[in-house]
Amino acid sequence: MNLSSRLALILGSCSAISVLLILWSNSLLQQPNSWLAMVNHWLGWDISWLFHLCVILCGVWLVKHLTANISNSLQALEVGLLNFKDNDFSVTVPEVKDKEVNRLIQLFNQAAMILRKEKQSIYQRELLLDKVIQSSPHIMLLLDNAQRVIYSNDAARHWFAQGKSITGCLLQDLSDNLPPEMAQIIQSQQEGLFTLNQEEAESWHISRGTFVLNGQHHNLLLLKQLTKEISRQEVQVWKKVIRIISHELNNSLAPIASMVNSGRKLTQENQSPKLNLIFDTIESRCSHLNQFIFNYARFAKLPLPQKASVEWEALTQQLSQHYSFKLTGQLPSEAGYFDQIQIEQVLLNLLKNAHESGSKLDEITMTIQTTRIAAKQGVSISISDAGSGMSSEVMQQALLPFYSTKQSGTGLGLPLCREIIEAHDGQISLHHRQSQGLVVQVWLPC
């Protein structure tokens, strides 16, 4: 028997009992010798209405008593459903002895448990998704239909507001602090690659998306910094070309050198000065070309860094034995962690460039200090000079392979430095000095 049938049976039974009692009392009143008629005669007034009232009250009490457990259980279920409406699935209803009501309570508790687990799973997925978005190096902005920021990741906050919250800010106001090229691209509806012509040319990619959520239009703006990736791919292409050229030239130089040596032996008796000059010239050019190939092959076959703990004082003393410089500021108290041979090679090359810039020796300085970039702790090494410096055009090309303004330069010095620094997950940048000269800044993670 289901719950509704049982309630109908209880109410029907109580109503029937009340009706029967009322009919019985009426029949007693109609009998002169009945006790109810005698009481009425003795009191002098009709008490049938009082008897009827007592019967009704007894019926109401009986109904309430019989349905008390069901009523309490239904009230508990109602409270639980109201909690569901408020997105609270932590409520459970205690079981009762009544089987039909208990079945309903069990179904409610099972539904609450499923919804509770689903809510927890959704919350964990949201936390994971937010962690991924916040850790992304790409700039992400979610805008409403009025171009107001409603969500942003950590990279966007650092780029637009130095890490401060930008929720609620208009995109137009945020764009005012950006380089003009980027502000123009963001305000337009363009998508694709664009270049920022600053001290170093930076390649960026912008993409947009539009979707409707809860009946409202939203815009997603995504900015990707592609300079490192493009440079890395360019370097990989150059390395492949260098390996192919080196292989072909080595295959040709080895027989030429062997033939020169054989020719010398065959013409020893002639002792012709012109012939010796020819052999010497060929041998000299082969040796020069071999050294040239070796230098380029070193760039193409750069080994992975073997990181170890390095004391800064020992490193600076080692560098000062090759090139003079003035050390400014205090050295970091904690040792560095990098490949000493490779980083020493980078710093020696930068000091060599500083000495060749025409700067006075006492104006060549090195500063080593702890810094933080994008929430990462690291060490910044700055080498500055007061030489002739670089033009903006030259500075944009300086870190590219095979670009050199020196007459005898190979164009591998700064690109090799960049390759080593990026292999350490670091950064290298060139800046104009305020007065005169150049500042090269190297950042290495701790």
| pLDDT tens-digit readout, 336-346 | 899 998 899 88
Whole-number Å distance between alpha carbons of 269 and 251: 30
- The CATH architecture one would assign to domain 308-445 is 2-Layer Sandwich (3.30)
* Token pair of 143 as six digits: 């805008």
Higher pLDDT, 67 or 228: 228
Higher pLDDT, 428 or 65: 428
Asked if residues 373 and 443 have their Cβ atoms less than 8 Å apart, the reply is yes
Whole-number Å distance between alpha carbons of 349 and 398: 14
pLDDT digits (tens, 9 = 90+) for 145-190: 888 888 888 888 888 888 788 888 888 888 877 787 788 888 887 8
At 40 the pLDDT is 57
pLDDT band, very low/low/confident/very high, at 8 (cuts 50, 70, 90): low
Question: What SS3 class is residue 234?
Answer: helix
Higher pLDDT, 295 or 281: 281
pLDDT band, very low/low/confident/very high, at 248 (cuts 50, 70, 90): confident
The alpha carbon of 439 is separated from its chain's Cα centroid by a whole number of angstroms, namely: 31
Q: What is the pTM of this model?
A: 0.51
Higher pLDDT, 230 or 417: 417
Question: Per-residue pLDDT averaged across 272-281, rounded?
Answer: 75
Question: Per-residue pLDDT averaged across 370-397, rounded?
Answer: 80
Asked if residues 323 and 419 have their Cβ atoms less than 8 Å apart, the reply is no
Whole-number Å distance between alpha carbons of 353 and 47: 122
Question: Is there a shared CATH topology between the 137-225 domain and the 308-445 domain?
Answer: no
At 223 the pLDDT is 87
Whole-number Å distance between alpha carbons of 23 and 38: 18
Backbone angles phi, psi at 371, to 5 degrees: -140, 170
Question: Per-residue pLDDT averaged across 204-231, rounded?
Answer: 81
Phi-psi region of 374 (alpha: psi -120 to 50; beta: other; left: phi over 0): left
Highest mean predicted confidence (pLDDT) among 40-44, 327-331, 370-374: 327-331
Backbone angles phi, psi at 82, to 5 degrees: -65, -35
Which of 256-265, 341-350, 392-401 shows the lowest per-residue confidence on average (mean pLDDT)?
Answer: 392-401
pLDDT digits (tens, 9 = 90+) for 406-440: 666 666 678 888 888 888 888 888 888 877 888 89
Asked if residues 222 and 208 have their Cβ atoms less than 8 Å apart, the reply is yes
Higher pLDDT, 374 or 422: 422
109 burial via Cβ count (<10 Å: 0-12, 13-18, 19+): middle
Local structure of residue 361 (DSSP, 8 states): G
Higher pLDDT, 333 or 233: 333
Q: For residues 234, 238, 239 and 243, what is the CA-based torsion angle, rounded to 10 degrees?
A: 160
Question: Angle, nearest 10°, between helix axes 227-266 and 413-423?
Answer: 130
One-letter identity of residue 271: Q
pLDDT band, very low/low/confident/very high, at 361 (cuts 50, 70, 90): confident
* Token pair of 332 as six digits: 């970091």
β-strand 308-310 against 427-432: which pairing, if any?
A: unpaired
At 39 the pLDDT is 55
At 382 the pLDDT is 92
CATH level 3 topology of 137-225:
Beta-Lactamase (3.30.450)
Cα–Cα distances (Å) from 432 to 222, 373, 439, in that order, read: 31, 20, 6
At 311 the pLDDT is 92
Question: Per-residue pLDDT averaged across 10-35, rounded?
Answer: 56
Count CB atoms within 10 A of the CB of residue 10.
16
391 burial via Cβ count (<10 Å: 0-12, 13-18, 19+): exposed
Asked if residues 80 and 108 have their Cβ atoms less than 8 Å apart, the reply is yes
Count CB atoms within 10 A of the CB of residue 431.
14
- Per DSSP, the chain holds a count of helices (H) and strands (E) of 13, 12
At 367 the pLDDT is 92
Which of 29-38, 222-231, 270-279, 378-387 shows the lowest per-residue confidence on average (mean pLDDT)?
Answer: 29-38
> Given the structure tokens 């670089």, which residue do they identify?
390
Question: Per-residue pLDDT averaged across 116-120, rounded?
Answer: 87
Cα–Cα distances (Å) from 363 to 64, 83, 179, 223, 439, in that order, read: 99, 73, 32, 40, 12
For the chain, which residues make up each domain, given as ranges?
A: 3-122, 137-225, 231-300, 308-445
Closest alpha carbon to 411 in 227, 235, 200, 251 = 235
